[in-house]
């Protein structure tokens, strides 16, 4: 981005709507990668500009067409430049990400929330579980705490244990739990998967562990280098953590308990690793793949013969 050209261009911009369209054009020229909450230049630009201005996503015509101050223009330009020149995802620029319709504080100690499990949560885990029967939940790899918090809000009668191996991530989760006033219903535990959970059992276990394999790791766009490596990579085939979860989960599930695991693109490697296992892969109305589900009986049958 040439500074002179930028300054000439923005001198003609005066409203949020005009800045959004200008940012869309610049983002497309720069061939940015989207995948941290948006999947196109328009949504990315709208997210950056509306939230920088403190507007909601449903900003009305009056807000979109109101002339901006010089200070607001400078702030928008700075963040647009940062997105293009550094490739830093918008969520990290804003320190804000959205999951299941809820805002969360994020920094580079946690992955940016984007799991299709959000849709499962908003449906209260129907039809796979009876929400009334879920009393205890385990969230493995909680990161920002988004899954634990969204689950606790969707199911107000449950208690959630949220575990992560990273103490830095748990600090971010604690901040979000405090924001939503859920400290009495969500317990944060530093743990490598199940290692610190001796004697505990759950009605529902939700796991979103690292699952990026060596090939995908080598091909990831620059935007992903801002996320913690420990939260992404899981060995040559992306299954290092999933194998451990499948092996151990039966000891932590109640008799009618359910295990939900996201493995993303490593879905096909998992099927190759366990060709005899009939994985139940969930379909999502709003997109996303690589999430499977087992009940305790099925886990015992296929992984503890």
For all residues of the chain together, what is the average pLDDT? Answer: 94
DSSP string, 87-106: ---HHHHHTEEEETTEEEE-
What beta strand segments (E) does 192-250 contain? Answer: 202-207
CATH of domain 97-303: 3.40.50.150
pLDDT value of position 4: 46
Cis? peptide before 274, omega within 30° of 0: no
Q: How confident is the model at residue 26 (pLDDT cuts 50, 70, 90)?
A: very high
Task: Tell me which H or E stretch contains 125.
Answer: none
What is the predicted pLDDT for the residue at 225?
Answer: 95
113, 172 Cβ separation under 8 angstroms: no
* Token pair for 106: 């994020």
What DSSP state is assigned to residue 254?
A: E
At 111-143, the pLDDT tens digits run 999 999 999 999 999 999 999 999 999 999 999
According to the model, what pLDDT value does residue 189 have?
98
Q: Give the pLDDT of residue 287.
A: 81
The SS3 assignment for 141 reads coil
Q: What ranges do the domains of the chain cover?
A: 3-94, 97-303
CB–CB of 27/45 below 8 Å? yes
Q: Minimal CA–CA distance to 154: which of 87, 206, 225?
A: 206
Helices (H), 187-266: 214-219, 240-248
pTM above 0.85, yes or no: yes
Q: Return the percentage of the chain with pLDDT > 70, whole number.
A: 96
Radius of gyration of the chain (CA): 21
Q: Mind listing the pLDDT tens digit for each residue in 225-268? A: 999 999 999 999 999 999 999 999 999 999 999 999 999 999 99
């Amino acid at each position: 981005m040439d500074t002179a050209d930028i300054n000439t261009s923005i001198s003609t911009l005066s409203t949020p709507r005009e800045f959004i369209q200008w940012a869309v054009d610049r983002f497309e020229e720069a061939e940015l990668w989207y995948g941290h909450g948006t999947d196109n230049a328009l949504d990315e630009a709208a997210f950056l500009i509306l939230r920088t201005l403190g507007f909601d996503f449903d900003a009305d015509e009056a807000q979109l067409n109101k002339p901006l101050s010089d200070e607001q223009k400078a702030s928008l330009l700075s963040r647009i430049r940062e997105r293009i020149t550094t490739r830093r995802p918008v969520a990290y620029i804003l320190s804000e990400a959205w999951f299941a319709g809820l805002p969360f504080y994020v920094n580079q100690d946690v992955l940016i929330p984007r799991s299709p499990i959000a849709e499962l949560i908003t449906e209260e885990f129907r039809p796979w579980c009876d929400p009334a029967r879920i009393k205890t939940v385990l969230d493995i790899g909680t990161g920002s705490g988004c899954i634990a918090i969204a689950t606790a809000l969707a199911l107000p009668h449950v208690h959630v244990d949220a575990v992560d191996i990273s103490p830095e991530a748990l600090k971010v989760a604690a901040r979000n739990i405090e924001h939503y006033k859920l400290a009495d219903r969500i317990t944060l535990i530093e743990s490598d998967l199940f290692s610190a959970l001796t004697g505990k059992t759950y009605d529902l276990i939700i796991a979103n562990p690292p699952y990026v394999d060596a090939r995908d790791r080598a091909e990831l766009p620059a935007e992903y280098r801002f996320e913690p490596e420990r939260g992404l990579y899981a060995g040559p085939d992306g299954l290092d953590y999933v194998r451990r979860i499948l092996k151990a989960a039966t000891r932590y599930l109640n008799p009618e308990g359910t295990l939900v695991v996201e493995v993303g693109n490593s879905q096909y490697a998992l099927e190759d690793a366990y060709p005899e296992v009939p994985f139940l892969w969930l379909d999502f109305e709003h997109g996303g793949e690589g999430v499977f589900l087992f009940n305790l009986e099925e886990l015992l049958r296929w992984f503890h013969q």
